[in-house]
Amino acid sequence: MHNAAFAALGLNWRYLAFEVHPDNLRAAIAGAKAMQFAGLNLTVPHKLLAMEMVDALDESAKAWGAVNTILFKPVAAGGEIRAIGFNTDAEAIVTALREDLKMDLRGAKVLLLGAGGAGRTAALKLASENVAELFLVNRTLDKAEAMAGEIKKQFPSVRVTTGHPPTAVDLVLNATSLGLKPGDPSPLDEKQFSVRQTRAVYDMIYHPAETALLKAAKAAGCKTANGLGMLLCQGAKAFEIWTGKPAPLDVMRRALEAEVYQSTVRSSQSTVGSQQSTVRSPKS
Ligand code: ATR
């Protein structure tokens, strides 16, 4: 999606994927800086480690305790370059829910499935958007309880409980990895809570395009969306941080859909030359 966007804006840039062992992350960031890369994206497990490896943290990275985007910024023309850490994941959750589900989070009741890295960011971001009530469900209950404690402390006005809701909700949000593998069951335990009791379902998984959860939700008449919009929104925000230009969203969405859902269609931008580069590890 980034290469398509660079081409659309006539930028002679290239986005490349590198696999970096966590032991080498500091050296990789320093190397990219020395080579005058424009920036980096980072994914698991680098997002937490990088907090200590940049020269400055943007408010977004401070708020969510994770860096998924680095901007290499010269202090003055031709002068020292500083690595600034950002987080574009949290904002992407809200943007995708608004764009794809037309969802207004303020005052909403939400059942959140999953308390891993993605679940934690989602829970805190939803709480910061003033949802009325959050129900947290996770295979490992301790993690959901720890997350509930964190939210109560930071956002006392949000009602937060662990376990399934006793009544209907506005949104079920899946932040577990259940559904990624073919044949995975739905992460929603229908004996505890029926998909018919929610208006909308968002699954952060985007491949496969329709998980067992989304299939059941569609059959029950819910509004549904998969995680492709989130991937797009975090990428578009990173693009804007690096280039200072508005991201060509339609171009990026089309490239992303072609890449993710028609793996034989390759971006025609792969021959664009490179002067500055952006890198990411390949599993985001
Ligand atoms: P991510 O960074 O993508 O959130 P993660 O931190 O490993 O990845 O979190 C994975 C989430 O999926 C967790 O909520 C995990 O539940 P546990 O906390 O109990 O491990 C959930 N998950 C993974 N496999 C699962 C499964 N088979 N059934 C239910 N939940 C599962």
**Shared-domain flag, residues 200 and 275:** no
**Shared-domain flag, residues 75 and 116:** no
Ligand 1 pocket, residue 66 CB under 6 Å? no
Per-residue model confidence (pLDDT) at position 195: 98
In angstroms, what is the span from residue 114 Cα to ligand 1's centroid? 6
**Shared-domain flag, residues 75 and 130:** no
Atom number of ligand 1 nearest to Cα 176:
12
Kindly report, residue by residue over 90-137, the tens digit of the pLDDT: 999 999 999 999 999 999 999 999 998 899 999 999 999 999 999 999
Q: What percent of the chain stands above pLDDT 70?
A: 92
Angle between helix axes 117-128 and 89-101 (nearest 10 degrees) is: 70
CB 167 within 8 A of CB 136: no
**Shared-domain flag, residues 20 and 32:** yes
**Shared-domain flag, residues 203 and 105:** yes
In angstroms, what is the span from residue 177 Cα to ligand 1's centroid? 5
Structure token digits, residue 87: 């987080």
Name the residue with the closest Cα to ligand 1, atom 2.
117
**Shared-domain flag, residues 150 and 217:** yes
Q: Three-state SS string across 64-133, please?
A: HCCCCEEEEEECCCCCCEEEEEECCHHHHHHHHHHHHHCCCCCCCEEEEECCCHHHHHHHHHHHHCCCCE
Rounded CA-CA distance 28/218 in Å is: 44
**Shared-domain flag, residues 95 and 224:** yes
Ligand 1 pocket, residue 177 CB under 6 Å? yes
Structure token digits, residue 49: 């480690």
**Shared-domain flag, residues 208 and 119:** yes
In sequence order, the 6+-apart residues with CB closer than 8 A to the CB of 134 are 110, 112, 123, 126, 127, 148, 151, 158, 159, 160, 161
**Shared-domain flag, residues 112 and 197:** yes
pLDDT of 51 strictly over 60: yes
In angstroms, what is the span from residue 214 Cα to ligand 1's centroid? 18
Kindly report, residue by residue over 196-253, the tens digit of the pLDDT: 999 999 999 999 999 999 999 999 999 999 999 999 999 999 999 999 999 999 999 9
Q: Kindly provide the b/e burial profile for residues 62-95, where b requires at least 16 CB atoms within 10 angstroms of the residue's own CB.
A: ebbebbbbbbbbeeeeeeeeebbbbbbbbbbbbb
**Shared-domain flag, residues 78 and 207:** no
What do you get for the CA distance between the two ends of the chain, in Å?
13
Per-residue model confidence (pLDDT) at position 85: 98
Per-residue model confidence (pLDDT) at position 44: 84
In sequence order, the 6+-apart residues with CB closer than 8 A to the CB of 266 are 259
CB 90 within 8 A of CB 125: yes
Name the residue with the closest Cα to ligand 1, atom 26.
178
Structure token digits, residue 1: 């999606």
In angstroms, what is the span from residue 136 Cα to ligand 1's centroid? 13
The total domain count for the chain is: 2
- 256 is in which domain, residue-wise? 2-89+234-283
Q: What are the φ/ψ torsions at residue 144 (nearest 5 degrees)?
A: -65, -40
| CATH number (domain holding residue 264) | 3.40.50.10860
**Shared-domain flag, residues 258 and 243:** yes
Place of tokens 């930028």: 11
**Band of the pLDDT at 56, cuts 50, 70, 90?**
very high
| CATH number (domain holding residue 136) | 3.40.50.720
Question: For the CA atoms of the chain, what is the radius of gyration?
Answer: 19
Distances (CA, A) of 251 to 1, 11, 274: 7, 14, 20
Ligand 1 pocket, residue 69 CB under 6 Å? no
Q: What are the φ/ψ torsions at residue 62 (nearest 5 degrees)?
A: -65, -45
264 or 235, which is more confident: 235
- What would the mean pLDDT of 54-73 be, rounded to a whole number? 95
